[in-house]
Structure 1
């Protein structure tokens, strides 16, 4: 299954190649404090720390496309129970505008991922019940701090179906090429 996901991600990367070849391509790394409804630990919600690699490009002055690959950096562990994402893959489009050194934007796209939970009774969830896939949306801002370097802040709702949602703030760095 992982080979299929990574192969699909590389295929998506090929689809984004025209945008990346534009003069305003970028690559970045973000840390997200992912808040989610608790289905496992008996709390209202809990957080995990996710890291996302971002690859994108500006199609024109208003639109950019982006591919994200991520995984859990800080999982939720408690009394022998553990929760984490094995991976997240997402394709997004941004609508924004460059104002001097900062660029606010709205984000819309699709996220696919695989979550992994081990409970006290050592039940491991299979691929069917551990897969998330949903339309994602958010807002953020890119701030240039040099000719090629910048910082990024955003808030994204990655998943919201039934009583389960994954959302949170993110901060990161990027390099424009």
Structure 2
């Protein structure tokens, strides 16, 4: 009986070791172009800015096909000038940015080869949108934190066992409502290059 128990214990320890070896934590950055878009049908305006931005990420690959990731980042400010009558009696410059965003993502991945894999991301993002006007138009100035559905895809190439590079596209938020009436809506997307350290 003792031999059976010892054998069962050894099998369980061996199995746990194999499972632990499959789990790989990682950390990295993504840097590139981010799109901030906002529109309002009552003003009306529809502004799209592509700005520089980036994020830091930490995550865990639970196996070759599934992982989870947390990322936080920020983007630059986009401006556009409007003629008199859009926001007020005079010409106005409308500026918009995302002070920060936090994403909570599940990663579905597939190893195409030993060194290259593709992946899809699904989850949610919380972002703080901010808009300002010059000269000041109080009704157009917003500072709102919103959460919405996120999705995207990318690829990752292993340079070494510990280092990989890649590229991805993410739609962080789509048509989140920024005002009480729901007429002002915003979007956030990113197309970046990535650098990841695997542990």
TM-score by length of 2: 0.68
Distance verdict in 2 for CA 1:85–1:165, change over 3 Å: closer
Secondary structure of 1:97's aligned partner: strand
Structure 2 residue 51 is matched with structure 1 residue 51: no
2:96 aligned partner: 83
C-alpha distance in structure 2 between counterparts of 1:59 and 1:48, whole Å: 33
Structure 2 residue 96 is matched with structure 1 residue 96: no
C-alpha distance in structure 1 between counterparts of 2:169 and 2:163, whole Å: 21
Secondary structure of 1:168's aligned partner: strand
Structure 2 residue 164 is matched with structure 1 residue 150: yes
TM-score by length of 1: 0.76
Q: Is the 8 A contact 2:25 2:61 kept in 1?
A: yes
Runs (4+) of structure 1 exceeding 4 A deviation are 78-81
1:31 aligned partner: 31
How many aligned positions are there?
153
* Larger-gyration structure (1/2): 2
Structure 1: any 5+ residue segments left out of the alignment? Answer: 1-20
Structure 2: any 5+ residue segments left out of the alignment? Answer: 1-20, 82-92, 177-184
Pairwise CA RMSD of aligned residues?
A: 2.4
Q: Is the 8 A contact 1:22 1:57 kept in 2?
A: no
